[in-house]
Amino acid sequence: MGDFSDLLADKRSFELAMNIFEVSKSFPKEEMYSLTDQIRRSSRSTNICLVEAYRKRRYRAHFISKLSDSDMENSETKGWLKFALECKYLAEERYTKLTLQSDEIGKLLNHMMNNPEKYGVI
């Protein structure tokens, strides 16, 4: 098995985090320490927890636990995206695109949790 960067889930979660970083640059300054900070943190944590899980794949329970953390962060990101939409910081089209990316990541993470042996877990 190669490096974590070979994983589709890594590529997609990194891409989503960077897309959120770009779009959140336009959020109002008063949101800097709340919504902006939180959505950036959770989207980045989705990716970082996946990276940590991959390094712990020698231990099935740790691997699945870290993937579960990644999935939780991804769900949190979707929640923040909904706030951004309702606060009119995101256009509906952009919101839809970002949430579809998040949905894809969730499916990839769930596949990994349900099939750890395919990712080098013994």
* pLDDT score at 73: 98
Exposure class string for 63-98: b at 16+ Cβ within 10 A, else e: bbbbbebbbebbebbbebbeebbeeebbeeeebeeb
* More confident of the two residues 72 and 2: 72
Q: Is residue 70 part of a domain?
A: yes
Instruction: Report pLDDT digits (tens) over 28-49.
Output: 999 998 999 999 999 999 999 9
> Could you list the residue range(s) of the whole structural domain that residue 54 is in?
4-115
Assigned domain for 121 exists: no
Q: For residue 92, give the CATH number of its domain.
A: 1.20.1440.60
The total number of structural domains that make up the chain: 1
pLDDT at 1: 53
Calculate mean pLDDT across residues 73-89.
98
In a domain, 58, yes or no: yes
Look at residue 120 and tell me if it is in a domain. Answer: no
* 91 contacts: CB under 8 Å, gap ≥ 6: none
Please check whether residue 122 lies inside any domain of the structure. Answer: no
Q: Given a cut of 80, is residue 116 above it in pLDDT? A: yes
- Split at pLDDT 50, 70, 90, the class of 121 is confident
93 lies in some domain: yes
Indicate yes or no: pTM above 0.85.
yes
Question: How would residue 2 be classed by pLDDT, with cut points 50, 70 and 90?
Answer: low
The predicted pLDDT at position 45 comes to 98
